[in-house]
Amino acid sequence: MINLCFHGIGTPPRGLPAEEAAYWVGADTFRRVLDQVVDRPDVGLTFDDGNTSDVTVALPELVDRGRVAEFFVIAGRLGNTGSLSADDVRGLHGARMGIGSHGMHHRVWRKLSPADRHEELVVARNRLEEVLHEPVSAAACPLGRYDRATLTALRRLRYARVYTSDRALARPGTWRQARFSLRAGDTADDVAVWLRHGDRYTVRAADAARTFVKGLR
């Protein structure tokens, strides 16, 4: 299967860090991509960062097409301007969407101190579980970065699935799930190529080696 990763949809709000704005796609592009995957149960849909466009744009379009998706929320931003509120997260969940953790502060999960790792992997998840009154078992690594210590900690904390941004096909049910993130310049046609030829990315030995090494550092 192939997992896609969206961030904000529409025009990024002023003041959003450039490295986040670079991943926003237009609503038209978003709708065209969704239309391509309506009959593709092998395409997983995920949304990172918990922007309000998750509920104002993505949710109605998903519901219209009878699709579910998984939303990775930044716990420390709940209720902030431009970010989902606790009610929004409950609304997504009530609409059968999955909710996972994207940590507390959207910082890279590599080389964290034990205290910071606890905040990112334990406290953030607890906060989301308090919002949902349900266990949260999936995580997405902020900025797609991780190292061996991160993966070890995530396994020890019994996360059931961990999403990366490694641009490779994913095997259904495996613990580490690679994703293709859309960037601001990507078009629906670009995504169509990934959907048709995603397997070509996995056979590129250099990419596979890079992904493997990332998990070892």
List contacts with Zn ion (CB under 5 A): 48-49, 142
For CA atoms 81, 162, 191, 91, the dihedral sign is negative
- Burial class for 94, CB neighbours closer than 10 Å (0-12, 13-18, 19+): exposed
d(CA 4, CA 164): 11
Kindly give the pairing relationship between strand 43-48 and strand 70-73. Answer: parallel
**Which residue number, 49 or 120, has a Cβ lying nearer to Zn ion?**
49
d(CA 171, CA 176): 9
Query: Least CB distance from residue 210 to Zn ion, whole Å?
Result: 20
d(CA 86, CA 88): 5
Query: Least CB distance from residue 41 to Zn ion, whole Å?
Result: 25
Query: Least CB distance from residue 145 to Zn ion, whole Å?
Result: 10
**Which residue number, 44 or 142, has a Cβ lying nearer to Zn ion?**
142
d(CA 29, CA 33): 6
CA-to-CA separations, 148 to 7, 39, 154, 160, in angstroms, rounded: 25, 36, 10, 17
**Which residue number, 93 or 179, has a Cβ lying nearer to Zn ion?**
179
Query: Least CB distance from residue 108 to Zn ion, whole Å?
Result: 10
**Which residue number, 48 or 120, has a Cβ lying nearer to Zn ion?**
48
Query: Least CB distance from residue 77 to Zn ion, whole Å?
Result: 10
**Which residue number, 8 or 198, has a Cβ lying nearer to Zn ion?**
8
